[in-house]
Structure 1
Amino acid sequence: MKQQKRMLRVLAENRGFNPKVLKTLGKRLKVGIIDADLLDHGTRHPNLALEKIAGYCKSLGHEVRLICDYNELDIQLPFFPDSCDYDVLCLAQVFKFTKRPKEIDFLIKNHFIFYGGTGFLAEFDDDVKQLPNLPHEVEHHQPDYTLYDEYIQKQTGGDPKLIKRRFDDYVSYSIGFTTRGCIRQCAFCVNRELKKVVPWSPVSEFMDPKRPRIYLWDDNIMAAPAKVFKKVMEDLQATGKPFQFRQGMDIRLMTEEKAKLFAGVKYYGDYIFAFDHYRKDDAHEWKQVEQTIRGLEIWKKYVTKETKLYVLVAFDGLDYQDIEGAFWRIKILMEYGCLPYIMRFEDYKKSQYKILYTQLARWCNQPSFFKKMSFRQFCIRNEEYHQGIQQPIKNGKFSSRLKFPKGFTPKPTFCACYRAMIEFEEEHPEIAKKYYDLRFEDLKDTFKNRKL
């Protein structure tokens, strides 16, 4: 027990991960891994840093286990660590809204646990440089892709269909960074430590031959030097495995050569880029718009596969102009045959249009709706569902007007979707007139006739 107390108290500086600690005692340690985001609200993706820590610890001969429930730790304050069954505890948190038990905060405060991750940033602008990095030997260790197996088994009972539906990213992909860094330094992004793009890990470093696919978390692969970009694409293609970049790629940096390379690889799923800018009254902003559109025009020459662009909203403003900026970008993407994906900056909740932001996201982020309905039709269908009405669809077309069947007594209140639509239209009829009735199938691939 004395050895265990010494081990837990030697976690100096109360943040980051210090591999020297794991080598000093010369004994097999029991290491507990905590994914704070997973235990609070669940996550779509595994935590790559924790998988690397687990892989590194196992390579030293230590026993490693993912904590599947905080209750497993049996944290009895103030008697900790006497009540703890682990020699070392490591915790990572990606999202700052993730909630932790007060007992875990006690461990952090009293140096009983290694911790790190962007979720510990108080403010993006001030604390980016304070983020602890994984030591080189851990950062470049192959991840332990079995780390989450016990948790997945408990959540699904081993049902293959349930595993595929809920945990495919955990079991089907090798994950890594081929490059790190970004030239943009966007105010909304936490990855601003490196101001240029540098090679990071060869694909072989993180690829598991048994996993069928690969995905990459590169901050801005499009900003990589031409030789680096080409080498990464060739190395990925040489694996024979389908791959994808998960971050919204920077289409402003598209070139003929890059488009040709993308068109010739074994890409999995949608290509995803970003369309963050819209303001015409700012010269710098408008230049970004022009570069985005130029990139789209190059892209469409070579790639026919479905393409999606993140549309950031509620960051530059929370007023009607930001709503109009979102619709304007959606229209352009319709004309290029691309799908928008609305990314709501967290401040959208402070806007008088927060419900409208949500409905825009519901419409755009579900391609089965977006491809078939205008925004007005989408809101009408929601209201019909709310009222319990099943209107016939004539010739595959949805109604652009809410109609109640003869003798039908409607509910006294509208659904949130329909109400947000009509309230904004009453306040800004000129914007509604320009955008509410636009349909993807009518505008698709009409960009050659478009004028800014």
Structure 2
Amino acid sequence: MKMSGFFKKEGHQTSLVQGYEEIGKFDKLYLSQVFTDTCVPPKVLILGNLTYGGTGFYYDKAPKLPDEIEHCMPDYGLYDAYIEKIRRYGESDSVYKFYTDYSIGFLTRGCFRQCSFCVNRNSTRSVPASPLEEFMDEKRKKLCFLDDNFFACPEWESLLDKVMETGKRYQFRQGLDLRIMQKKHIEKLFSGKLDDKVYFAFDDIRDKDLIIRKLDLLHETVEVKMKYIRVYVLCGFDRVGKWGNGFWYQDIRDTLERVKILMSFGCFPYIMRYEKCWTSPYYGMYTVISRWCNQPAQFKKKSLREFCNLQGGSSKRYLDEFEKEYPQISEYLDMKYDEVVADGALYRG
């Protein structure tokens, strides 16, 4: 959208290419890829009029946009034709609301964590990126921020003040770093017009005690229905890079332990599977855990065992085979949201 906005300002005509059969119509093509597993026909990448980029091609070494494009107002009309097409297929508004209702951008860039699984692993700090007015469309009623680690930026408070001055509803989509949040961060964040859910992350079981303390602090500081708290849960990533057989059982157990902790606080986990999950000998377990957790209506009403039994077929087989091999996992298979919330004192101070 920024590239389209820039080239339109320079007097060019731009449009969104919705299929590779259309690429012959243009003098110049730009192709962006976000995810490394997205398939692009090899014959497209060798076109003489094509420039391509993004984390899907270069991961943590992706070249940045030139400053004059990076700091250009996005062309929010770029997706209009695409939206009309999916509307004709009867898709609900929720499918395309970010295309129509939100101004989207980065208030800050970077993170100090240097997590080895992250595209920001070469970054050492969080710094201001784009002033809000650079990407805010006054006609759009909401704001969506994609910041990597917003509260790690020393200027977080003044940036959040400017957001609140707009009077627009806002959300941080990437998952805020709960580990560094203090009472002042929580009070400030929840004093504004938050939109929809609030997203945090719980990527490592070794952060268990810290996450519990921070969720306690969240409970103590603000009145918020915890069902509106979503927490990303990374699984399938081996920090020593071996992915041996012993790793897979422990990782699945650690994932379910984190789910139980979040349950006890009334939060909803969202499972984020690292790419190695797809080649794991227990691929099926990762699949059913993800399907269970990532459907809040199912997660709130059914245990993992009940969910798999209801699904039947491969879902039930995956669970049964894993439990037969590792019977000690059984304690996690029957936990139910309302019951664990009621027993939340197990974790809460």
Task: Using structure 2 for the length normalisation, give the TM-score.
Answer: 0.92
Match of 2:317 in 1: 419
Secondary structure at 2:158 match in 1: helix
Structure-1 residue corresponding to 2:52: 115
Is there any run of 5+ residues in structure 1 with no aligned partner, and where?
1-50, 75-84, 279-285, 384-414
> 1:92 is matched with which residue: 26, 32, 40?
32
- Out of 183, 190, 210, the position equivalent to 2:139 is 210
Q: Quick one: which amino acid aligns to residue 34 of structure 2?
A: V
Q: Tell whether 2:211 aligns with 1:292.
A: yes
- Distance in 1, matches of 2:45 and 2:64, equals 21
Q: Note the 1:63-142 alignment, pairs <5 A.
A: 63-74=13-24, 85-107=25-47, 110=48, 112-121=49-58, 124=59, 128-129=60-61, 131-142=62-73
Q: Which has the larger radius of gyration?
A: 1
Write the distance in 2 (CA, Å) between the matches of 1:217 and 1:260: 21
**Which residues in structure 2 correspond to 1:293-442 (within 5 Å)?**
293-301=212-220, 302-305=222-225, 306-316=228-238, 317=243, 318-383=247-312, 415-432=313-330, 434-442=331-339
- How far residue 321 of structure 1 moved from its aligned partner, in angstroms, is 0.8
Pairwise CA distance, 1:193? 4.0
Q: Is the 8 A contact 2:108 2:153 kept in 1?
A: yes
Partner Cα distance (2:71, 2:210) in 1: 35
Contact 2:179/2:210 (8 A) holds in 1: yes
Contact kept in structure 1, 2:212 and 2:348, CA below 8 Å: no
- What is the CA deviation profile of residues 75-117 of structure 1, one whole-angstrom value per residue up to 9, with x for unaligned ones? xxxxxxxxxx43322111111222222331221xx4x222210
Structure holding more helix per residue: 2
Take 1:222 and 1:369, find their aligned partners in 2: how far apart are those partners?
Answer: 32
Report the counterpart of residue 266 of structure 1 in structure 2.
193
Q: Give the residue type in structure 2 aligned to 1:239.
A: T
Residue aligning to 1:250: 177
Residue 309 of structure 1: SS of its match in structure 2? strand
Q: Equivalences for 1:10-25 in 2 at 5 Å?
A: none
The percent identity for this pair of structures is 41
Report the Cα distance in structure 2 between the residues aligned to 1:231 and 1:449, rounded to whole angstroms.
38
- Asked whether the 8 Å contact 1:337–1:445 carries over to 2, the reply is no
1:30 match = none
Aligned to 2:14, what secondary structure does the other structure show?
strand
**Once the 2 structures are TM-superposed, how far is the Cα of residue 163 of structure 1 from its aligned partner?**
6.3
Whole-angstrom CA distance in 1 between matches of 2:284 and 2:97 = 31
State the Cα RMSD in Å. 1.9
Matches of 2:195 and 2:124, distance apart in 1: 29
Runs of 4+ in 1 over 6 A off after TM superposition: none
- Where structure 2 has 5 or more consecutive residues not aligned to the other structure, the ranges are none
TM-score (norm 1): 0.72
**Distance in 2, Cα, partners of 1:68 & 1:376:** 41
**Does the 8 A contact of 1:259 with 1:303 survive in 2?**
no
CA contact (8 A) 1:96 1:120 kept: yes
Residues 361-370 or 301-310, more deviating: 301-310
Q: 1:310 is aligned with what amino acid?
A: Y
